[in-house]
Amino acid sequence: MKCSCAMIARGVILLLIFTCAASVYAQDGTPPANPPASQPDQPPATAPAQQQQQTPPAATPAQPQTQPGQTSQATKDQKNQGTSNDRLFFALPNFLTLENSAHVPPLTAGQKFKVATRSAFDYVQYPWYAALAAISQAENSEPAYGQGAEGYAKRYGTAFADGTIENYMVNAVVPAVMRTDPRYYQLGKGTFVHRTGYALSRLLITRTDSGHNTFNYGEILGSGMGAAISTYSYHPAADQTFSNTASVWGTQVAYDAIRIVLNEFWPDIRRHYHKDKTQPQP
């Protein structure tokens, strides 16, 4: 079965990363959704504040208000195009996750296809699928492909095609037809359990282009359609069964469940490590 090793490997890797996210969040508690701009409860700040107001504007160059540079860049990108240039753990494309963005313009159908293309053909995807193909080769999944260079090439092409079709169906085709929003809006506040529950609920709930909640057709219907298209079009005949299609569909949704929880907590992890790097050393 085509999902036996490649998709399970993706899920295991992301599960390990999720464990790391949970440990970081447990150490830091519940960080604020936005970095605090001021400290109102510090009485001695009155006199210095007045001195700063008397300083000529030219003497104080403008500084970005957000501490992490990546966050400010992501916020700028969100305002300009409704997506981001963020990367999950500084590697995996995370262009559809938005932080602290209550009001963003809806994506057009063209923009949905554009961001799906950015993600599907990102430079990280090529070694990623190469690794998945190597695991499939070692496990001899789908034996009809054989071994050797030819078998590996077939597995690599299959893995790339599977991921690309699923990406387009979930994030572009179905959202464009149903006029739903494929982006993930980070909650950014509350307890770990509450935020995890919110993230998992986004598998079934998303926004329409007009901003109302609706069923997540892209995730459920799109991933199912992607599994059916890939299974019955170019996979070996022995794997072209309904049970295999259903298994791939379920595995893909489970993988997306881990990924979407990581999307919720990744900004906290990024701020955590950025804080550790910028703290003065004794």
pLDDT digits (tens, 9 = 90+) for 143-200: 999 999 999 999 999 999 999 999 999 999 999 999 999 999 999 889 999 999 999 9
Report d(CA 258, CA 247) in Å as an integer.
Answer: 17
Distance of alpha carbon 179 from alpha carbon 205, whole angstroms: 14
Mean per-residue pLDDT of the chain:
77
**How much of the chain, in percent, has pLDDT values that exceed 70?**
67
* Best-predicted range by mean pLDDT (7-16, 29-38, 63-72, 161-170): 161-170
Higher pLDDT, 63 or 165: 165
276 pLDDT band, cuts 50/70/90, is low
pLDDT of residue 90: 86
Nearest by Cα to 176 from 116, 96, 102: 116
pLDDT tens-digit series, residues 211-226: 899 999 999 999 999 9
